[in-house]
């Protein structure tokens, strides 16, 4: 945490609220922190941020901001990257750079966030999924793989359920397919958030810097409180029916429960008994699960290089290697 003075919200006595806000903290802070030595791998060089093509797609009267890194006319399947609550597409840079050298990457500023700004009242995962699918359509992208973090992870699931024709593979990082997939204490803390608790934090500062409605931050706080209290759940049948392959990623100290992540992994085809009995794989698996050690919900943003090293083989459908000398 060198050089970083925690904002006053993290020094409050109410631990549940502080924990919930920590889960939603800006990725810009985390990305600036020193990464553990084992994650410090040379990342492929991507096109500079200034080279990204930016614009807005109008979806049911709402202008959704997006950025495109790379050439959408290439033969590579694009990767759509979806951010978490109180973030923006720009804050997902740690998950853009490792992929943009090998495939085009699209980021979106979700409803109420970033350069999209205030779009009305509460919003839902279904709405954000429809927004993202409409952005792909406006860019003439028939199908994209989707990587989402936290709120973006749940949106990625919603996209795959509602728009399977637009979604290839999904990478769900610290996201849930139902409200009860979250640790209850986290949701209890989020329910007690107020705009005043964010005063001077990176979350509020970044919102005001990017948003066309800089005074609407209290509305975003209210919208996040709503989406994290309104029951939602995609059924087992809906999750099994998703055609594309799925990778589930979380930390071992995440806000998403192990039980929920493992259930999602199994519903998507993971935990194959035949493969477990055989002891090796001859084809790329239907689903992959990664649980990062010593990693919290926000800390997972500092593990982008490690996650990318695991996700690239998944996106490329690489069959896991066989060690030499067994057969």
Does the pLDDT of residue 302 top 50, yes or no?
yes
Encoding tokens for residue 95? 């998950």
The answer as to whether 322 is a domain residue is no
Q: Which residue has the higher pLDDT, 277 or 133?
A: 133
- What is the residue-wise DSSP string for 114-140? TTT---SS---HHHHHHHHHHHHHHTT
The answer as to whether 276 is a domain residue is yes
What is the pairing mode between strands 167-173 and 105-108? Answer: unpaired
* Chain-centroid distance, C-alpha 202: 19
Predicted local confidence at residue 61, as pLDDT = 87
Encoding tokens for residue 111? 């409803």
Residue 67 sits at φ, ψ, to 5 deg, of: -140, 140
The answer as to whether 237 is a domain residue is yes
The answer as to whether 326 is a domain residue is no
Neighbours of 323 (CB within 10 A): 7
Q: Pseudo-torsion of CA 180, 81, 33, 312, nearest 10°?
A: 100
Mean pLDDT, the chain, integer: 87
The answer as to whether 221 is a domain residue is yes
Q: Pick from 266, 257, 249: which is nearest to 301 by CA?
A: 249
Does the pLDDT of residue 45 top 80, yes or no?
no
Does the pLDDT of residue 53 top 50, yes or no?
yes
Does the pLDDT of residue 273 top 60, yes or no?
yes
Kindly report, residue by residue over 135-170, the tens digit of the pLDDT: 999 999 999 999 999 999 999 999 999 999 999 999
Does the pLDDT of residue 50 top 90, yes or no?
no
What is the pairing mode between strands 79-82 and 105-108? Answer: parallel
CA distances to 35, 245, 310, 312, 319 from 299, rounded to whole Å, are: 10, 25, 17, 20, 29
Does the pLDDT of residue 42 top 90, yes or no?
no
Task: Give the whole-angstrom CA distance, residue 249 versus residue 263.
Answer: 13
Domain count, the chain: 1
Task: Give the whole-angstrom CA distance, residue 61 versus residue 204.
Answer: 26
CATH of the domain at 78: 3.40.50.1820
Predicted local confidence at residue 325, as pLDDT = 81
Encoding tokens for residue 11? 């020094």
Does the pLDDT of residue 73 top 90, yes or no?
yes
Q: Which residue has the higher pLDDT, 325 or 27?
A: 325
Mean pLDDT throughout 92-114?
96
DSSP letter at 68? Answer: E
Q: Which residue has the higher pLDDT, 31 or 292?
A: 292
- Domain residues for 107? 8-315
Kindly report, residue by residue over 242-272, the tens digit of the pLDDT: 999 999 999 999 999 999 999 999 999 999 9
The answer as to whether 63 is a domain residue is yes
Does the pLDDT of residue 84 top 60, yes or no?
yes
The answer as to whether 199 is a domain residue is yes
Contacts of residue 12, defined as CB under 8 A and 6 or more positions apart, other chains included, come to 18, 197
Q: Considering the chain, what percentage of its residues have pLDDT values greater than 90?
A: 76
The answer as to whether 171 is a domain residue is yes
Task: Give the whole-angstrom CA distance, residue 101 versus residue 43.
Answer: 9
What is the pairing mode between strands 246-253 and 167-173? Answer: parallel
């Amino acid at each position: 945490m060198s050089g970083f003075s925690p904002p006053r919200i993290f020094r409050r006595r109410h631990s549940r609220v502080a924990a919930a806000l920590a889960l939603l903290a800006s990725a810009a802070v985390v990305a600036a922190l020193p990464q553990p030595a084992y994650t410090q791998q040379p990342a492929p060089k991507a096109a500079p941020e200034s080279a990204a093509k930016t614009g807005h797609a109008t979806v049911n009267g709402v202008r959704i901001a997006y950025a495109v890194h790379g050439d959408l006319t290439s033969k590579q399947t694009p990767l759509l990257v979806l951010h978490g609550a109180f973030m923006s597409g720009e804050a997902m840079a740690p998950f853009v750079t490792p992929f943009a050298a090998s495939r085009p990457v699209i980021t979106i500023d979700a409803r109420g966030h970033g350069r999209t700004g205030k779009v009305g009242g509460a919003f839902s995962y279904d709405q954000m999924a429809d927004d993202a699918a409409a952005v792909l359509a406006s860019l003439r992208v028939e199908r994209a793989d989707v990587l989402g973090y936290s709120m973006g992870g749940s949106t990625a699931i919603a996209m795959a359920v509602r728009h399977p024709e637009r979604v290839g593979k999904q990478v769900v990082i610290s996201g849930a397919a139902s409200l009860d997939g979250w640790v209850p204490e986290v949701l209890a803390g989020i329910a007690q958030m107020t705009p005043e608790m964010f005063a001077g934090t990176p979350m509020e500062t970044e919102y005001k810097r990017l948003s066309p409605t800089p005074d609407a931050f209290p509305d975003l706080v209210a919208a996040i409180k709503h989406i994290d209290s309104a029951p939602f759940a995609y059924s087992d049948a809906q999750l099994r029916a998703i055609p594309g392959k799925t990778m589930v990623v979380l930390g071992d100290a995440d806000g998403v429960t192990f039980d929920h992540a493992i259930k999602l992994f199994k519903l998507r085809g993971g935990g194959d008994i035949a493969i477990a009995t055989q002891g090796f794989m001859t084809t790329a698996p239907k689903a992959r699960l990664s649980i990062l050690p010593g990693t919290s919900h926000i800390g997972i943003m500092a593990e982008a290089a490690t996650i990318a090293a695991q996700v690239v083989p998944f996106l490329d459908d690489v069959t896991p290697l066989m060690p030499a000398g067994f057969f």
